[in-house]
């Protein structure tokens, strides 16, 4: 029986992250496909600290400082006019356009009100979270950079289940990235690939056998 609901933040409790990131790139004068290409390049490179991993994964685990990552990213980005991009406060600017998704947040609150254990599991890019909005919403909050693990590493899903007081087999996990959903399923969780509020609502009602409308 599924007794726990664990959800991602960006792209689940917020609207899609793609549009805000594209809006940020346009505002900075950066071609968005160029920005995406740089991220792909970073995923295939090694962290400048000598860690045997790429910079993005190191950032998500909290092993690479925000400022160091911002400098690294800024050196690879170019504005459409050829000018350099300012690294100072880059991550804060990137996440500043994310919009709260009130329907999904309310769904999580309704689930907890029905006695379902709830948790947040998010890969952080050193960004600030609206924790003041989460009062009474979660039984546990896990941020990758604070626990030194990242999705889709198996250990972080086991830790999330433990923190909400359940086994992985008793939890359903919701994420907007299929790779993270697969990671949850690989350790025994039920996975829901979030695309829209309506589709996720229907799936969760079927999995949890409750009305969440």
pLDDT for residue 52: 64
pLDDT for residue 126: 87
Nearest CA among 212, 203, 193, 199 for reference residue 11? 193
pLDDT for residue 53: 78
Neighbours of 105 (CB within 10 A): 18
pLDDT for residue 46: 73
pTM of the model as a whole:
0.93
pLDDT for residue 193: 98
Give the HSE-up count for residue 12: Cα atoms under 13 Å, Cβ half-sphere.
25
d(CA 37, CA 71): 17
Do 114 and 5 touch, CB atoms closer than 8 A? no
pLDDT for residue 125: 93
d(CA 74, CA 210): 47
pLDDT for residue 45: 79
Range 133-138 contact pairs with CB under 8 angstroms and sequence separation of 24 or more: 133/100, 133/105, 136/109, 136/112, 137/105, 137/108, 137/109, 137/112, 138/108, 138/112
Nearest CA among 106, 157, 151 for reference residue 4? 157
- For residue 88, count CB atoms less than 10 angstroms from its CB and return exposed for 0-12, middle for 13-18, buried for 19 or more: exposed
Please list the rounded mean pLDDT of every run of 10 residues in the chain (213 residues): 97 94 93 92 77 85 93 92 90 92 98 98 93 96 97 97 98 97 98 98 97 95
What angle (nearest 5°) sits at the alpha carbon of residue 55, between those of residues 132 and 124? 15
In a 3-state reduction of DSSP, which class is residue 132? helix
């Amino acid at each position: 029986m599924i007794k726990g609901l664990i959800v991602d933040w960006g792209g689940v409790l917020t609207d899609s992250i793609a549009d805000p990131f594209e809006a940020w790139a346009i505002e900075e004068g950066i071609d968005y496909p160029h920005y995406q290409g740089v991220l792909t390049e970073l995923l295939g490179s090694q962290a400048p600290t000598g860690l045997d991993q790429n910079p993005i994964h190191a950032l998500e685990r909290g092993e690479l400082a925000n400022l160091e990552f911002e400098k690294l990213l800024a050196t690879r980005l170019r504005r459409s006019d050829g000018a350099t991009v300012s690294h100072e406060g880059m991550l804060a600017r990137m996440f500043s356009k994310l919009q709260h998704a009130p329907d999904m947040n309310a769904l999580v609150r309704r689930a907890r009100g029905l006695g379902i254990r709830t948790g947040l599991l998010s890969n952080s890019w050193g960004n600030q979270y609206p924790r003041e909005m989460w009062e009474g919403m979660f039984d546990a909050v896990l941020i990758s950079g604070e626990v030194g693990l990242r999705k889709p590493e198996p250990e972080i899903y086991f830790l999330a289940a433990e923190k909400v007081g359940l086994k992985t087999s008793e939890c359903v996990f919701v994420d907007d990235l299929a790779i993270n959903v697969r990671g949850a399923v690989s350790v025994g969780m039920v996975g829901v690939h979030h695309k829209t509020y309506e589709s996720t609502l229907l799936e969760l009602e079927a999995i949890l056998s409750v009305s969440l409308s």
